[in-house]
Amino acid sequence: MERIECQWCRLQNDPGTASCLACGAPLDGRAVVTDSGWREAPRLRDMTEFRFAGSVVQVEGELVPVAEIALGHGDAVYFEHHLLLWKDEATPVAAMPTQGGIRRILGGMPFVLTMAYGPGRVAFSRDSPGELVVLPLHPGMELDVREHAFLLASHTIGYSFVRVQGLANVLHGGNGMYLDRFVTTSAPGLLVLHGYGDVFERSLGPGEKIMVEPGGFLYKDASVTMQAVQLPVRTGLLRRGMYLAEITGPGRVGIQSMYVHHHAE
Amino acid sequence: MAESAPEGQVVCRYCRTTHPPAGSSCPRCGAALDIRASVSRSGWIEQPPIRDLARIQFGASRVQIEGTQLPVADFTLVGDEWIYFSHHVLLWLEPSVRITNTALAGAWNRMLSGMPLVMLEARGPGHVALSDNHAGELIAIPLMPGQQVWTREHRFLTATGNVSYTWEQTGVWYVTGSGDDRETHYPLGQFGDLFLARRTPGLLLLHSPGNTFLRDLGPGETVLVQPSALLYRDVTVSTHLHLEYPSGTQGLSWRSSFSQRHVWLRLIGPGRVAVSSVFRHSGSEAITNNSPATVQRW
């Protein structure tokens, strides 16, 4: 029988499967693409399960979804400590220092992440309506994510951060001083983000541009560039300038419909 | 309120425009047509959320509603057609879309009450997408020539260029405290927005932070609603403050400033009103002065 290709992560699934084994996307519908070419991130159904390595993730709830993970032996995930919703008492956790400690503190980013090891159960959620964006990463991928959007990543994914270059980008880009960078080398991994509101993804061709409210940016391939650009308009009583992020392909870019507005700080 | 339609046409229960019966959603407001209307025993009609990817036509352009939790209004602007909106709802746009801005009158008053001072105008051709920053629903209101609606402040998302915009004082307020503690409250907001389609049909989009319910009031019919829940109303519906004091509330608090009272907005028909299920409670400080109001002491 013909296998079913997941419209979100492209995994070939066994016939008769209701949701993708690697990302949890429903397999019984077509990809939802808007007239302007944005693909909606799949809404994961309540209690959907998917896997990575020897672990199983279950998504619970739909308004502020929870990611519950049954970690297999030898597996681990890392995360920001305040995202832990609950854990089994016996599940080991350890601190995972990151580079650039003092600079990250100044940038409002956690400089110590937490790692939970299998076997054991642990669950995560962010505290706002939205959806989980599940991104299985193949070997050799690099993805940049806005700060405070990352929910968890498997231990096979390398974590670093890139400093947003250029004063205009820092001041007006709306993404703070840093972007989280997730890199896979030889092994695949699982990255889960929390998108506020609804999440949309678009693939830009080489040189193709789109202008995005900086607070709406969620993630991008490392090959995609982002530049703060001033619009020819003035806002507010002080007639301040308004900036958007000019995003240029090639590569994927993801946005969220609920955002922090950064028009003219 | 029953409305008749020309032969071969149907009237949308929600926006009252006529259109051919084909299709699963109203082409003017996006409401689902293939579901049964949900009407409460008291006559409130539940506005069905606009389905993901529903399209709404206006002029030669259209808007597609995308997402369900915090939906995005993705406009395809054709030719020189344009929309206007507050700058903080702009989510993304194509470089081909021209953005300009216009200042609004009454800047100082608008700034004091937290209203936008400047509207952006986006002109086609191209795509531009808007979203509010709160979970809820988008409400599309097609306006026929000469039709005007009043909307609560901060509910406006966008309107087509042929819809004129102005604003007015709500005239609904009350005062609590005295001396340095004196505070004036505007439970309906200090200002309300007025939108009017003059010569050609237009489209108004609102953001409702919750579920939305509609009701048609007959002439002289009244209903009390939480002031901050009001989403929009026909301009034929009049409003004023209504204060209600339940019986048996003396001695409930040692504070002399405490008052167990309900602050209502009294709506008087004829006309259509819409409320949102999300609202703000008005506190329990004693009221020392207020705008013209009816009072009920039980």
Q: What is the mean pLDDT of chain B?
A: 88
B91 to chain A, any CB pair closer than 8 A? The answer is yes
Which of A7-21, B231-245, B273-287 is predicted with the least confidence, judged by mean pLDDT?
B273-287
Contacts of residue A130 in chain B, CB cutoff 8 Å?
Answer: 69
The pLDDT value given to residue A259: 79
Query: What gap in Å lies between CA B226 and CA B263, rounded to an integer?
Result: 7
Contact B205, B138 (CB under 8 A): yes
Q: Is the pLDDT of residue B28 over 60?
A: yes
Distance to chain B for A101, nearest Cα, Å: 32
The per-residue pLDDT for range A13-70, each reduced to its tens digit, is 999 999 999 999 999 888 899 999 999 999 999 999 999 999 999 999 888 899 999 9
Q: How many percent of chain B have pLDDT more than 70? A: 89
Contact A261 B88 (CB under 8 A): yes
Average pLDDT over residues B119-140: 92
Contacts of residue B95 in chain A, CB cutoff 8 Å?
Answer: 209-211
Contact A136, A22 (CB under 8 A): yes
Q: Is the pLDDT of residue A110 over 70?
A: no
Average pLDDT over residues B34-52: 87
Contacts of residue A234 in chain B, CB cutoff 8 Å?
Answer: 101, 118
Query: What gap in Å lies between CA B112 and CA A120, rounded to an integer?
Result: 54
Band the pLDDT of A247: cuts 50, 70, 90.
Answer: very high
The pLDDT value given to residue A264: 35
Pick the residue from chain A with its C-alpha nearest to B115: A236
Token digits for B252?
């409930």
Beta bridge mates, B75? B63, B128
Query: What gap in Å lies between CA A248 and CA A254, rounded to an integer?
Result: 13
Contacts of residue B55 in chain A, CB cutoff 8 Å?
Answer: 35
Count CB-CB contacts under 10 A for residue A146. 27
Q: Is the pLDDT of residue A261 over 50?
A: no
Query: What gap in Å lies between CA B239 and CA B178, rounded to an integer?
Result: 27
Question: Pairing relation of β-strands B238-245 and B293-297?
Answer: parallel
Q: Which residues contact A238 (CB under 8 A, 6 or more apart)?
A: none
Token digits for A214?
């900086």
* Beta strands across the sheet bearing B118-123: B98-103, B118-123, B82-86, B156-160, B202-208, B137-143
Count CB-CB contacts under 10 A for residue A31. 11
Query: What gap in Å lies between CA B15 and CA B8, rounded to an integer?
Result: 18
Q: What is the dihedral of CA B198, B196, B161, B204, to 10 degrees?
A: -130
B134 to chain A, any CB pair closer than 8 A? The answer is yes
Q: Which of A9, A7, A53, A224 is nearest to A153 (CA)?
A: A53
Radius of gyration of the CA atoms of chain B, in A = 21
Q: How many percent of chain B have pLDDT more than 90? A: 61
Query: Where does residue B279 rank: exposed (0-12), middle (13-18), buried (19+ CB within 10 A)?
Result: middle
Contacts of residue A244 in chain B, CB cutoff 8 Å?
Answer: 90, 92-93
The pLDDT value given to residue A265: 34
Distance to chain A for B257, nearest Cα, Å: 36
Pick the residue from chain A with its C-alpha nearest to B88: A261
Distance to chain A for B100, nearest Cα, Å: 6
The pLDDT value given to residue B115: 64
Q: Which residue has the tokens 């504070």?
A: B255
Nearest to A40 among B55, B66, B70 (CB): B66
SS3 A28: coil
Contact B127 A36 (CB under 8 A): yes
Count CB-CB contacts under 10 A for residue B260. 15
SS3 A58: strand
Q: Which residues contact B181 (CB under 8 A, 6 or more apart)?
A: none
Contact B93 A244 (CB under 8 A): yes
Q: Which of A176, A177, A98, A184 is nearest to A143 (CA)?
A: A184
The pLDDT value given to residue B244: 87
Token digits for B171?
């005239």
Ramachandran angles phi, psi of B62, nearest 5°: -150, 165
Contact B95 A232 (CB under 8 A): no
The pLDDT value given to residue B278: 86
Band the pLDDT of A137: cuts 50, 70, 90.
Answer: very high
Contact B71 A257 (CB under 8 A): yes
Contact A35 B64 (CB under 8 A): yes
Query: What gap in Å lies between CA B244 and CA B261, rounded to an integer?
Result: 6
ipTM computed for the complex:
0.79
Nearest to B69 among A34, A129, A233 (CB): A129
Q: What is the dihedral of CA A243, B119, A202, B140, to 10 degrees?
A: 160
Contact B94 A63 (CB under 8 A): no
Q: Is the pLDDT of residue B258 over 80?
A: no
Q: What is the mean pLDDT of chain A?
A: 87
